[in-house]
């Protein structure tokens, strides 16, 4: 009697069951293809669930971030302020400063004499963007970039500001931006890391960079940035030692993997599996990395595009070319650091060399990506950790001056990957001190970058120490006006 009632109530027989379940079974099959370990029920499978799964369709697939460490002066590059020239030597009005904090390097100055840029500016492109004579090649590509003149940050000194730009927090032990993308999206090329770091030689003396800027923080160590060097071995200890060939290396890794699996079963430490993955990645990289890092085979027109320095390992130009090769090969996030922009004095003399180091190669990278059909899917970001003051630090002369740190307003530019090209966004006051239109905080920048990569910055989280962390912490808004 119960069986009859059951069948009558649901109206299900064997044929109906398979018909109704077809869509569900199809979804299960699709899920198992997208995430192979999805239904294993292991903790590892649960941790891997976000990899490669975007929250929505993305504009960009990869990111190249050109970090100008030390903070380029926006007043000498993109934020033209003729009023400062008219007020040369006059003290910064308190109505403009409004009691805002200063660094210890200028806080005790008796006066804050205003000084306009020594360099000339012209308008370029359809947007009429003002660009300094220091950056003639970047000026030629203004129709391909979006200049944001209303960036601001919380930190006033280099270490916390640079850490904030890279990790979304001023303190250490937070995952860097590249690590978040590695965690959230995984790698496009199984033979290369998802996150690579390049450090440029040259540039002036200034603030250093350090490994916490590309640290995985509390994420799995497989998401840490892999630093490439300018030596004969771009990645140290990657090559086989003398007496070992690929066959013996493979056998060694097999035995080491078996031992590590035994350790994992005993201690259940996920970092043991992370180490296994890193060993296997290094083995695959032994074949991929030498070919990718060899720029000597690039055609002559590409070498000319990036400049003669592009054939000198470790220079900014060489690293820009290498960044293109890494990105083209499927590296998800490439971060290039160029130091020396910290011009507290002798700005006029020092910034000429800095601009010359980066101008041609930065423009060449965007041009190269565009002509290869890669710019639309590659997001390029250029800028430093904060800006510089509109008043002089130290002695002011007719021909020279210095500028202190200024977190209240600075400029960056972005290109490709869903960014609205040929635009200028945001505005500062006539003295270049405060933002008066469309401010963009570092958290907003991070939220926008994640959006372009198909990730909701509020949803990509990781639980650590009892709370869920994210790159933007509890802040950030997508700047929709600069999206294509």
**Using one digit for the tens of pLDDT, what is the confidence trace for 77-120?**
999 999 999 999 999 999 999 999 999 999 999 999 999 999 99
> 147-161, 185-199, 295-309: which has the minimum mean pLDDT?
185-199
- For residue 126, the model assigns a pLDDT of 93
Question: What beta strand segments (E) does 32-104 contain?
Answer: 62-68
Contact in structure between 384 and 347 (CB atoms under 8 Å) = no
**Using one digit for the tens of pLDDT, what is the confidence trace for 11-51?**
555 555 555 555 555 555 555 555 555 555 544 444 444 45
- For residue 416, the model assigns a pLDDT of 97
- For residue 49, the model assigns a pLDDT of 44
Give the contacts of 46 (CB within 8 A, at least 6 positions apart).
none
- For residue 293, the model assigns a pLDDT of 78
User: What share of the chain has pLDDT > 90, as a percent?
Assistant: 67
DSSP string spanning 57-71? Answer: --S-SEEEEEEETT-
User: What share of the chain has pLDDT > 70, as a percent?
Assistant: 83
Q: How far is CA 260 from each of CA 46, 111, 386, rounded to the nearest angstrom?
A: 21, 64, 45
Distance, in Å, from the CA atom of 356 to the CA atom of 137, rounded to the nearest integer, reads: 10
Average pLDDT of span 166-185: 94
Distance, in Å, from the CA atom of 20 to the CA atom of 162, rounded to the nearest integer, reads: 55
**Using one digit for the tens of pLDDT, what is the confidence trace for 431-459?**
999 999 999 999 999 999 999 999 999 99
**Using one digit for the tens of pLDDT, what is the confidence trace for 268-327?**
787 777 776 776 666 566 666 777 778 888 999 999 999 999 999 999 999 999 999 999
Domains in the chain with CATH codes: 1-27 (no CATH), 62-234+297-470 (3.40.720.10)
**Which of residues 45 and 331 earns the better pLDDT score?**
331
Closest to 85 (Cα-Cα) out of 95, 72, 75 = 75
**Which of residues 192 and 76 earns the better pLDDT score?**
76
Contact in structure between 360 and 208 (CB atoms under 8 Å) = no
DSSP string spanning 423-464? Answer: EEE-EE-TTSSSEEE--EEHHHHHHHHHHHTT--TTT--EEE
Closest to 320 (Cα-Cα) out of 383, 365, 368, 380 = 365
- For residue 451, the model assigns a pLDDT of 97
> 255-264, 308-317, 397-406: which has the minimum mean pLDDT?
255-264
- For residue 229, the model assigns a pLDDT of 79
Q: Which H/E stretch holds residue 406?
A: strand 405-406
Q: How far is CA 245 from each of CA 175, 208, 248, 251, 257, rounded to the nearest angstrom?
A: 36, 38, 5, 10, 18
**Using one digit for the tens of pLDDT, what is the confidence trace for 339-350?**
999 999 999 999
Distance, in Å, from the CA atom of 191 to the CA atom of 285, rounded to the nearest integer, reads: 5
Distance, in Å, from the CA atom of 114 to the CA atom of 401, rounded to the nearest integer, reads: 10
Give the contacts of 455 (CB within 8 A, at least 6 positions apart).
54, 55, 58, 181, 184, 185
Q: How far is CA 293 from each of CA 107, 196, 303, rounded to the nearest angstrom?
A: 46, 12, 15
Q: b/e for 217-238, b at 16 or more Cβ within 10 A?
A: bebbebbbbbbbebeeebbeee
Q: Is the pLDDT of residue 234 over 70?
A: no
- For residue 258, the model assigns a pLDDT of 80
Q: Which residues pair with 338 in a beta bridge?
A: 68
Contact in structure between 170 and 163 (CB atoms under 8 Å) = yes
């Amino acid at each position: 009697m119960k069986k009859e009632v059951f069948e009558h109530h649901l109206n299900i027989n064997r044929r109906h069951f398979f018909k109704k379940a077809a869509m569900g079974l199809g979804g299960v099959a699709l899920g198992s293809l997208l995430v192979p370990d999805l239904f294993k029920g292991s903790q590892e499978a649960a941790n891997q669930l976000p990899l490669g799964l975007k929250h929505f369709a993305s504009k960009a697939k990869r990111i190249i971030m050109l970090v100008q460490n030390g903070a380029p002066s926006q007043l000498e590059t993109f934020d033209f302020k003729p009023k400062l020239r008219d007020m040369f030597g006059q003290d910064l009005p308190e109505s403009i400063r409004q009691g805002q904090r200063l660094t210890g390097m200028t806080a005790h100055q008796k006066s804050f004499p205003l000084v306009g840029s020594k360099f000339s500016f012209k308008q370029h492109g359809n947007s009429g963007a003002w660009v300094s004579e220091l950056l003639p090649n970047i000026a030629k590509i203004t129709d391909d970039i979006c200049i944001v003149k209303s960036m601001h940050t919380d930190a006033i000194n280099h270490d916390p500001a640079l850490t904030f730009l890279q990790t979304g927090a001023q303190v250490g032990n937070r995952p860097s931006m590249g690590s978040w993308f590695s965690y959230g999206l995984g790698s496009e090329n199984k033979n290369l890391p998802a996150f690579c770091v390049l450090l440029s030689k040259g540039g002036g003396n200034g603030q250093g960079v350090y490994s916490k800027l590309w640290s995985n923080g509390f994420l799995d160590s497989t998401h840490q940035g892999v630093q490439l060097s300018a030596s004969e071995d771009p990645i140290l200890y990657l090559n086989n030692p003398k007496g070992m060939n690929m066959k013996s290396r493979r056998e060694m890794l097999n035995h080491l993997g078996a031992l590590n699996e035994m350790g994992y079963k005993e201690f259940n430490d996920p970092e043991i599996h992370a180490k296994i993955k890193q060993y296997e990645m290094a083995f695959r990289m032994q074949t991929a990395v030498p070919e990718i890092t060899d720029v000597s085979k690039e055609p002559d027109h590409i070498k000319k595009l990036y400049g003669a320095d592009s054939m000198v390992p470790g220079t900014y130009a060489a690293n820009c070319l290498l960044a293109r090769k890494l990105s083209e090969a499927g590296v998800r996030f490439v971060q290039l650091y160029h130091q020396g922009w910290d011009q507290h004095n002798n700005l006029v003399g020092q910034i000429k060399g800095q601009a010359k180091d980066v101008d041609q190669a930065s423009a060449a990278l965007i041009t190269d990506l565009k002509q290869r059909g890669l710019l639309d899917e590659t997001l390029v970001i250029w800028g430093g950790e904060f800006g510089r003051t509109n008043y002089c630090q130290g002695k002011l002369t007719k021909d020279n001056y210095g500028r202190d740190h200024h977190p209240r307003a600075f400029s960056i530019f972005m290109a490709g990957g869903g960014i609205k090209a040929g635009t200028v966004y945001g505005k500062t006051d006539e003295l270049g001190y405060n933002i008066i239109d469309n401010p963009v905080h570092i958290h907003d920048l991070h939220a926008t970058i994640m959006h372009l990569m198909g990730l909701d910055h509020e949803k990509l989280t990781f639980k650590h120490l009892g709370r869920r962390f994210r790159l933007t912490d509890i802040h950030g808004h997508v700047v929709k006006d600069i999206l294509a």
